[in-house]
Structure 1
Amino acid sequence: MKINPITCAVLAALAVTRVSYADDTVQPAPTTPSTSAAQPAKPDASSASTLGTVTVTAQHTAQDMQDVPITLQAFTGTTLQQLNVVSFDDLIKYLPNVTFAANGPGQGNIYMRGLSTGFLGNQSSASIAPFPNVAVYLDDQSMQFPARNLDIYMVDMERLEVLEGPQGTLFGGGAEAGAVRYITNKPNLNKTSGSAEASVGVTDGGAPNNSANVVLNLPLIPGTLAVRGVIYHDHEGGYINNVPSTYTRQSTDGGGAMAPYVAAGGTSVINNYSVAQNNWNPVDYQGARLSALWKINDDWNFLIAESYQNLDAKGQSSTYPIGTDGQTLGTDQITSFVPAWNNDHFTNTSWTLNGQIGDLSLVYTGGYTNRHISEQQDYTNYSRSAGGMYYQCTGTSAGLSSAGKPICYSPVGYWNDHVNSTHQSHELRLSTPEDYRFRVIGGLYYEDFNIDDHMNFNYKTIPSCTPQNLANAVAGGYPCVANAMSSPGVEMPDDTAFGEVEQRGYKQEAAFASLSYDIIPEVLTVTGGTRYYHYSEWQTGTEFYTTTAQDNVPNGTYVGNDTVMNYHKTYHGFKSRANVVWHITPNTMVYYTFSQGFRPGGFNRTTSGVAKLDGEAQYRKPISYAPDTLTNNEIGFKTTFFDDRLMLNGSLYDMRWDNVQMQFFNPLVLGNTTFAVNGPNYKVDGGELQFQARLTDGLTLIGSGSLNHAKQTTSPCLIDNIPGSPRYNECIIQTGAVGAETSFANPFGEIGSVPAFSPRSQYNMRLRYDWTFGDGFKAFAQVGFNHTGSMYNQPATYPSGSGVTDITTVELRYLQAGYNTVDASVGVAKDNWDVSLYGTNLTDNHASVFTSSAQFIESEVPIRPRVIGLKVGFKF
């Protein structure tokens, strides 16, 4: 793997410390005020008679999760192993207020409490998608990315925290609706230990699975310096079949524009036989993590970690109910015509310095992430639209060239995306002792986030103007079309019709403070805090396209067929929070929380005029869109009863999401590129309940559920913003040519309608029994149930996709049916060995987690079919 320069510098600093081997004397571990270096312990579930505690750092201080005045869920590393959770797809079933619009591994958006305006898919997402409103953290490093949440493989984890509601004061932009925090295990200074685990499994109707990981913790200087390493590999067999299919052009394609070509015999039938195969979507995770902890003295310690992961997902994770030629397909089938993949790898270097300056605790933490993505997906179905035909046919006004006899070339198309990004962050925190009656946490934050995206839509199949093709065209043969140019002198591949070479990103500086005061010590506490942020955001590059000016001219001829972007803006503000916490008894806490969140704005690639009426544009796309904001008012309680054998937590919340960012893509009306604007407001009223019960010393029942009432509260319209047009400053209600005007539906949605990816209810429950038998054998059995309610993939007023076969937009609205899943496992352990048999999705449900028309055909991303697996582990 490639090590970045910052990694080298920090490793070099560590290298000056002389390492020697010492005796096995156990020495005290260093004081670790850091959120990264703390290692909370949890009783072994098989032997504890109470629920125990889980320590979290959701407020940048170590606390029992029962003392944190927000709705959160925390899973220890032991729990994650027991639930066979290694990816976010595995975890989502245990999160009652979280949905996931997933287009495959590493390709999706996380939503909390129904705060979503839909998901358009992955093409150009690095360039055009708004930044997410749920933050993802690996330890203290932000891993957010537009529409591509990093899919961190969960092995050797200390815990995972899911913080619901806005976290803008402590975690900044991106944590608008909440945050997901992956906390890794840190080196143990005093104990040599390790583990190895391997599993094999079968997928119903698919290929086998296997995985293995090894962990080693080694004190190099006991009590002073230790290292910890983990290496893993996980292969998930494919289960989607790319079935043999043909593609036959129809007279009705392109709204009837294909009819002259079919009549003239200028089309041919093609097939996908060269790429058709069963189980074509296998996924491989490979990675490693190495960390070192140095106890400098009793007051200071330093932690450094290097993480690497490569995710290789072949094929596509979606299926088609109806195939490319209109045939009905079976379960988990697709008709794709090109090789497809998503390769996503990252390296992350992070470091944390903890220390004491008098009574103050100091934490400096920083990180540098390099991420590289290469993806290719089928786009052949776009050829049935007028836009696709334009780049593949000549001889009539519907094609790119009207010269010559009507002819169409291959309809096979695809898009190819190459993304490189870097994300650097630094945070300095100071805090007073936790036993002070008046406590303060304050800090400074800086980050620099850069994305470089090279995106090609490769569906131009008209021959390019090579010297021979150009000579034939000039002599009266079929026309040729010169290759697209991204800027003068930069020529694209000969099948590229449209794309971008684009860079975007931002720099953020922030300062934050949180103050807590015990009005009545250990009974009544008030907290207030705020964050000042300043963003410098930018987007540069070029968007290129193919036009009629490229007919019959030599390749390499620049005809101005691009749009240059050079956009910059800054914005700043404050986001705050306040809590009142009342411990009615030591085991009963009620709270009120006010909190605010936000996410950064962004830019659009062009400012072209669209929504034409009688040939005149009524709307000019804006250069940029502003941040949106969220305000949360929440009351809740956290309680334990019966000597810590029953935990019951609940919350009610009212959230106002304002100036919400929305994306539009409607080629027939709003132009052939996606753009974003600020639109309506939403209101979410809801509640969540969590419980854990130790029914007997070995029997535990755990469950959680949410009920939300989410609705749109305003409905702005798309306003004619072009001076001099007939309806300037009025709502756009009609588009179309003279004599063929049609009504234009408000794309912002309707007041009272439900937002996208906002199920009314979600709940889960699991039962686990632990017991011992024989000569030191420990056994367990557990079963879990999950329910996710039905939801839409797009806001109201978007056209329904039900029964639509002539798809001209990626924004069709589909109802994703609610579904249930059941998981179970049994196992036995003795001494250092354990073995378990597990099953996921035992009812073999094939529900869709993301239904869309993103590829100009109805597609569904199904949950993984039933899996039966065997896992063996060893610890020392």
Structure 2
Amino acid sequence: MKINSITCAVLAALAMSRMCYANDTTPPAPATQPAAATQPAKPDSADTSRAATLGTVTVTAQHTAEDMQDVPITLQAFTGITLQQLHIASFNDLIKYLPNVTFAANGPGQGNIYMRGLSTGFLGNQSSASIAPFPNVAVYLDDQSMQFPARNLDIYMADMERVEVLEGPQGTLFGGGAEAGAVRYITNKPNLDRVGGSVEASMGITAGGGPNNAANAVLNLPIVPGTFALRGVIYNDHQGGYIDNVPSTFTRQPTDGGGAMAPYVAAGGTPVANNFSVAQNNWNPVDYQGGRLSALWKINDNWNFLIAESYQNLDASGQSSTYPVGADGQKLGTNQITSFVPGWNNDHYSNTAWTLNGQIGDLSLVYSGGYTNRRISEQQDYTNYSRSAGGMYYNCTGTSAGLSSAGKPICYSPIGYWNDHVRSTHQSHELRLNTPEDYRFRVIGGLYYEDFNINDHMDFDYKTIPSCTPTNLASAMAGGYPCVANAMSSPGVMLPDNTAFGEVERRGYRQEAAFGSMSYDIIPDVLTATAGTRYYHYSEWQSGTEFYTTTAQVNVPNGTYVGNDTVMNYSKTYHGFKSRANLTWHITPDMMLYYTFSQGFRPGGFNRTTSGVAKLDGVAQYKKPISYAPDTLTNNEIGFKTTFFDDRLMFNGSAYDMRWNNVQMQFFNPLVLGNTTFAVNGPNYKVDGIELQFQARVTDGLTIMGAGSLNHAKQTNSPCLYNNIAGSANFNKCIVETGAVGAETSFANPFGEIGSVPAFSPRSQYNMRARYDWTFSGDYKAFAQIGFNRTGSMYNQPATYPSGEGVTNITTVELRYLQSGYTTVDASVGVSKDNWNVSLYGTNLNNSHASVFTSSAEFIESQVPIRPRVIGLKAGFKF
């Protein structure tokens, strides 16, 4: 475990969150709520030691504090105590309890969250900051948006009050990015009246992998009791690696590059590479380190101010994927890979957030703001690209397959990689006004401003042809092997020898919005109607250069600028309204029916180039568009929320019809559609589904809970990639054929087909768990808990994409794989007395090795497995 002396000192002094409230019923009100500094807490439904009922969970999903059973949307909330009981520290831990959520995870801090099967696939992580569309599921830390293209922030869940998962469009209150739903991390706030805290530590073993250990602590200090308090949390979590990078060679084959490698092999100019210097077992350990310090000032009985500073560093070594078949075609074992370069992903963020709560007459005011600074550095292996025609182009000379056809055929090292450096800032401000909650007619209104900026410097380092140093250039000019000058990112900026392609790119947007929502109790406490809308205005932009290597760089001095870059300077604005309406009917105080209509959207974006592709007889049939527009989602949902038997049984359900239109899709098919990814607006999808949730206190000690979903998702139209180049032979017609004269091949519609299932859309998902609490020997409390999660099978790409089954000569990152369904089982037992507790837990006890993201993104079949079985021991002390 990486931990320094300062961390040790703080761990000794601080203590764990929320547990300090085990006997304290007056934690502060959420700072996002207009209230006094403290208010009584409702019983925690997950704390089975408090009462023989399920209790209530208070959420703020509609910008007002209310029982989750009164919110007319499909919603799940996990309290801080529940997160501790289930050993949930990251989103990978949480997702097993979310029956309508999938996660295309490409490693810690890398991936996309999908809800209700609203996905068109995931291409991988290289260049994602530059090319990936913005996500359609929003991520919030309190009131701060943490969304990011293909890299939603991996927030470590220490000292959380709760996590809320809101399904369906949330565009009215949470804006663009909350198109399909939102995940909200709500932190614990300082307590003005009580000194408290706890410390917690755990250690464990991973099946076939390295050891794990973690520690976290919290301290709550009322500096001026009743007026000013501080709260601090610090955490350190080391997760041992379990993927082995096994020794391997890389030998070029005559069939590489569609047979283009044959002359090189025949000439004997194909060196064999190996990964012996980087091969090692358990090479993918992950470390989370961070902390948060917050201060709450009760200015008077009507006003309070909260400020919080959060910091986290995520350090993931190696690579999170495995290969069924290695670099030289050898069959690999479970959780093995053949990688040829060091790999890492370091992801650091700091966030400053502030919230002012107060009263202006009868109106409640909330102003919240935040500023996030994020830094990412990642490097991953790309050696397998060398087997493609594109990779050969940068590795070889002497035939038409290389950068230079001069001289004897020769290839240099096939080892390549990509290196990505991302800097991002995200600023937001929101002002809300609420009328009193006991009014028959209630109004919420607000203004919102957001400024999101991303700087990305992405290098693809797979050019192994020697650069044109003075010595190499002199040799080439004297009849020796050709050299290739270094790439230029712009005039005067020369890149390293191996850099062949990449971008120095900036993108982002500014958003201004105004929103409002009105509720009227048609029959007080029985029938309520709500309607709201949001006006948004986006100013979106992208600029920078895309650089590459061409034949103009052959046999010229390094530093010679040959105009080999594409300059981007794009901007666009768009605006509109997204609305929502609800009708809720409380048949009884414990039984509610609701209907919800809601709309969502996500921002559009830009492509890096507008080159012509899909050539037929040497003539381009399609020009990549400069930009793509927002897509939209409309949801009609009916549901019920009920409790029975004096609050001992909760049973909720919903049925929904969702229409996702003008959907953003990405393409990368080097042989036909060019060597850069681009996005367009494409088909429409329809999702019909149901979701059920239940929780039962069977006896005073036994609680059983579960949830499940069943979705029928399908594509409802079939647009085509049409010839958009005026004057060409088939202008305005669907592209059906590409290729050279005499070698034409059919071109499959990349948008999918009517009735097909979208990517990452399993038919069913469900989970169930049971917990039994009892007391023995007077003061000792014990528990036993067991649960399972089932995720159905799903595809990683739309239906018309080429199948990856059995394909070894991979030329595209868009191969379609079936990700098999899987089940995991978790369990734990523990005992507590007074202020201490000890528990033994196990996750993935059945040791499933299912893949959560199978792809050809690195030009080889790769699978991202779930973490193998973990057995751990955890101990905590509260004061």
Once the 2 structures are TM-superposed, how far is the Cα of residue 761 of structure 1 from its aligned partner?
A: 0.2
The question of 1:218 aligning with 2:221 is answered yes
Q: Helix, strand or coil: the match of 1:391?
A: helix
Instruction: Tell me the amino acid that sits aligned with residue 609 of structure 2.
Output: T
Question: Could you say if the C-alpha distance between residues 724 and 257 of structure 1 is closer, same or farther in structure 2, counting changes exceeding 3 Å?
Answer: same
Gaps of 5+ in 2: 1-23
> Is 1:93 matched up with 2:96?
yes
1:434 pairs with 437, 446, 454, which one?
Answer: 437
Residue equivalent to 2:183: 180
Contact 1:28-1:223 at 8 Å conserved across structures:
no
Return structure 1 stretches of 4+ with deviation > 6 angstroms: 26-33, 36-39
SS at match of 1:229: strand
After TM superposition, list the pairs within 5 Å mapping 1:136-535 onto structure 2: 136-535=139-538
Does the aligned pair in 2 maintain the 1:195–1:873 contact within 8 Å?
yes
CA contact (8 A) 2:123 2:857 kept: yes
Residue 125 of structure 2 corresponds to residue 122 of structure 1? yes
Deviations 1:821-841 (A, max 9, x none): 000000000000000000000
Q: Distance in 2 between matches of 1:46 and 1:303?
A: 31
SS across alignment from 2:352: strand
Matched, 1:762 2:762: no
C-alpha RMSD over aligned residues: 1.2
What's the CA shift string for 1:729-777, capped at 9, x where partnerless? Answer: 0000000001111100000000000000000000000000000010300
Shift, 1:31, TM fit: 7.2
Extract unaligned runs of 5+ from structure 1.
1-25
2:730 partner SS: coil
Q: Percent identity?
A: 85
Distance 1:436 1:377 in 2: 57
Answer yes or no: is the 8 Å Cα contact 1:30–1:295 preserved in 2. no
CA distance in 1, matches of 2:702, 2:516: 43
Is the CA contact 1:31–1:299 (under 8 Å) kept in the aligned structure 2?
Answer: no
Q: 1:478 to 1:666 in 2, by over 3 A?
A: same
Task: Give the drift of 1:499.
Answer: 0.1
Is the contact between residue 668 and residue 808 of structure 1 (CA under 8 Å) also seen in structure 2?
yes
Partner Cα distance (1:833, 1:28) in 2:
21
Q: Is the 8 A contact 2:110 2:151 kept in 1?
A: yes
Matched to 1:546, the amino acid is: T
Q: Cα distance, 1:268 vs. partner?
A: 1.4
- Number of the residue aligned with 1:871: 874
Q: CA deviation at 1:476?
A: 1.1
Q: Is 1:671 matched up with 2:674? A: yes
Letter aligned with residue 377 of structure 2: S
Matched, 1:774 2:777: yes
Which residue identity does 1:569 align to in structure 2?
A: K
1:430, 1:401 → 2: CA distance? 67
Letter paired with 2:57: V
Q: Give the distance between the partners of 1:481 and 1:695, measured in 2 at CA.
A: 74
Query: Any conservation in 2 of the 1:118–1:794 contact (CA below 8 Å)?
Result: yes
SS of residue paired to 2:799: coil
Q: Which of 647, 652, 659 is the equivalent residue of 1:644?
A: 647
TM-score (norm 1): 0.96
- Whether the aligned pair in 2 keeps the contact of 1:33 and 1:355 (CA below 8 Å) is no
* Number of the residue aligned with 1:722: 725
Normalising by structure 2, we get a TM-score of: 0.96
How far has the Cα of 1:404 moved from its partner?
A: 1.2
Question: Contact conserved, 2:38 with 2:191, CA < 8 A, in 1?
Answer: no
Shift of 1:270: 1.1
Deviations 1:47-93 (A, max 9, x none): 31000000000000000000000000000000000000000000000
- The C-alpha deviation readout for 1:576-611, integer Å capped at 9, x for no partner, is 000000000000000000000000000000000000
Residue pairs, 1:16-27, within 5 angstroms: none
Q: Deviations over 1:489-520 (max 9, x none)?
A: 11111100100000000000000000000000
How far apart, in 2, do the equivalents of 1:704 and 1:216 lie?
35
Tell me the CA shift for residue 403 of structure 1.
Answer: 1.1
Quick one: which of 789, 800, 805 aligns to 1:802?
A: 805
1:34 aligned onto 2:15: no
Matches within 5 A, 1:827-838: 827-838=830-841
**1:113 and 2:113 aligned:** no
- The 3 A distance-change label for structure 1 pair 444 and 38 is farther
Out of 682, 689, 707, which is 2:685 matched to? 682
1:47 touches 1:697 (CA, 8 Å); kept in 2? no
Q: Distance in 1 between matches of 2:247 and 2:26?
A: 65
Instruction: Provide the C-alpha distance between the structure 1 equivalents of 2:525 and 2:447, rounded to a whole number of angstroms.
Output: 29
What letter matches 2:837 in structure 1?
A: D
Q: 2:736 corresponds to which residue?
A: 733
Alpha-carbon offset, residue 35 of structure 1: 3.7
- Residues 761 and 794 in structure 2, CA contact (< 8 A), matched pair in contact too: yes
Equivalence for 2:587: 584
Distance 1:28 1:581, change over 3 A: closer
Q: What letter is aligned with 2:807?
A: V
1: CA distance, partners of 2:330 / 2:827: 37
Q: Distance in 2 between the 1:461 and 1:807 partners?
A: 21
TM-fit CA distance, 1:475: 1.2
Equivalent residue of 1:669, what SS? Answer: helix
Q: Could you tell me which residue of structure 1 aligns to residue 56 of structure 2?
A: 53
For residue 637 of structure 1, what is the amino acid of its counterpart?
F
Task: Measure the CA separation in 1 of the matches of 2:333 and 2:303.
Answer: 61
